[in-house]
Amino acid sequence: MSSSSYQKIYQIVKNIPCGKVATYGQIADLAGFPGQARLVGYALNSLPEELDIPWHRVINSQGKISFAGGSGWYEYQMSLLETEGIEFSPSGKIDLKQFQWQAK
Whole-model pTM above 0.85?
A: yes
* pLDDT surpasses 90 at 24: yes
Residue 88 lies in a domain: yes
Its domain, for residue 17, covers 3-99
| Phi, psi angle pair for 58, to nearest 5° | -105, 125
* pLDDT surpasses 90 at 92: yes
CA distance 7 to 99: 25
Residue 59 lies in a domain: yes
Residue 104 lies in a domain: no
What digits encode the pLDDT tens for the residues 40-69? 999 999 999 899 999 999 999 999 999 999
Q: Which CATH number does the domain housing residue 69 bear?
A: 1.10.10.10
**Counted domains in the chain:** 1
Supply the pLDDT for residue 1. Answer: 52
**Rg for the chain, CA atoms, rounded:** 13
* pLDDT surpasses 70 at 78: yes
Residue 61 lies in a domain: yes
Residue 45 lies in a domain: yes
